[in-house]
């Protein structure tokens, strides 16, 4: 993995400022249109992953196929939502358990028993939620890689393949996640510091619009490196 390359490849493109600017405009539009335009940025990230995997000379693609970017982003988002269904099931069970104490109304002893049962169930659900969250941490990048490798939404639900990608590339996924989290933390700290001052706020707001697509594009490149490794392509990043 060449982590540094994931952050610097953007400026190697002649039109990188324009491409980042379009990404920033999409972030701004998403604030006004309920996040829907953000699907374009998700699709663009997948295009970067695909280019890196295939060893394309121009890693940072042009913004010339909004339709494909939107549909790719939509498909990947739908796939990821399916993988979160277990969380919704746990949430529904937790909500149902919340009414248990009310079922013992009029009987203090029964209320106590039901309340204790509810607490135990919530603790179990909480542990299951943590385990599912940890699994999704590794599976989310694997879903992106699987989609890029196949170009098919249905392939994202070949669970054994997706889990296999996550299992076989645990160390790389962790490295990428740590790098992205660290950079995001630094960016947020800088934005927060600038926003604390009147003049700095003028810089902080557009910086936030630019930082998100930059980090998203970086993630696309790093996922592309993992995908290239899986495909056995000896690409020099």
What is the tens place of the pLDDT at every residue in 73-97? 999 999 999 999 999 999 899 888 8
Tell me how far apart the alpha carbons of residues 144 and 73 are, in angstroms, rounded to a whole number. Answer: 10
- Per-residue pLDDT at 236 exceeds 50: no
- Per-residue pLDDT at 57 exceeds 70: yes
Domain membership of residue 137 as a residue range: 3-231
In a domain, 133, yes or no: yes
Domain count, the chain: 1
Instruction: Compute the Cα dihedral for 25, 27, 32, 36 and give only its sign.
Output: positive
The pair of three-digit structure tokens given for residue 198, joined into one six-digit string:
């009147």
Residues 185-196 have pLDDT tens digits of: 999 998 888 888
| Least confident segment among 59-73, 77-91, 99-113 | 99-113
Tell me how far apart the alpha carbons of residues 90 and 73 are, in angstroms, rounded to a whole number. Answer: 27
The pLDDT value given to residue 234: 54
pTM: 0.89
pLDDT grade for 114, boundaries at 50, 70 and 90: confident
Tell me how far apart the alpha carbons of residues 70 and 44 are, in angstroms, rounded to a whole number. Answer: 8
3-state secondary structure (DSSP) of residue 15: coil
The pLDDT value given to residue 106: 66
Q: Is 41 exposed, middle or buried (0-12, 13-18, 19+ CB in 10 A)?
A: buried
Tell me how far apart the alpha carbons of residues 114 and 143 are, in angstroms, rounded to a whole number. Answer: 40
Tell me how far apart the alpha carbons of residues 40 and 212 are, in angstroms, rounded to a whole number. Answer: 13
In a domain, 236, yes or no: no
Residues 195-225 have pLDDT tens digits of: 887 677 788 888 889 999 999 999 999 999 9
The pLDDT value given to residue 193: 87
In a domain, 7, yes or no: yes
In a domain, 237, yes or no: no
Mean pLDDT of 121-146: 93
In a domain, 80, yes or no: yes
In a domain, 176, yes or no: yes
3-state secondary structure (DSSP) of residue 189: helix
């Amino acid at each position: 993995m060449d982590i540094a390359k994931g952050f610097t490849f953007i400026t190697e493109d002649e039109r990188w400022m324009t491409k980042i600017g379009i990404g920033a405009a999409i972030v701004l539009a998403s604030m006004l249109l309920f996040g829907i335009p953000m699907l374009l940025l998700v699709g663009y990230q997948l295009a970067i992953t695909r280019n890196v995997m295939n060893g394309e000379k121009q890693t940072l693609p042009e913004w010339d196929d909004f339709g494909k970017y939107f549909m790719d982003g939509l498909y990947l988002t739908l796939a990821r939502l399916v993988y979160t269904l277990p969380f919704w099931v746990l949430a529904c069970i937790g909500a149902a358990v919340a009414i248990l104490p009310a079922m013992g109304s009029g009987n203090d002893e029964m209320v106590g028993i039901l309340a204790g049962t509810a607490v135990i169930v919530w603790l179990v659900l909480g542990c299951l939620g943590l385990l599912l969250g940890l699994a999704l941490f590794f599976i989310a990048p694997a879903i992106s890689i699987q989609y890029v490798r196949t170009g098919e939404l249905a392939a994202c639900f070949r669970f054994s393949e997706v889990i296999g990608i996550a299992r076989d590339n645990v160390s790389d996924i962790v490295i990428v996640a740590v790098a992205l989290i660290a950079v995001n933390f630094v960016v947020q700290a800088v934005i927060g510091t600038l926003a604390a001052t009147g003049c700095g706020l003028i810089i902080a707001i557009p910086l936030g619009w630019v930082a998100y697509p930059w980090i998203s594009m970086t993630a696309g490149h790093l996922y592309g490196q993992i995908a290239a490794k899986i495909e056995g392509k000896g690409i020099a990043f």
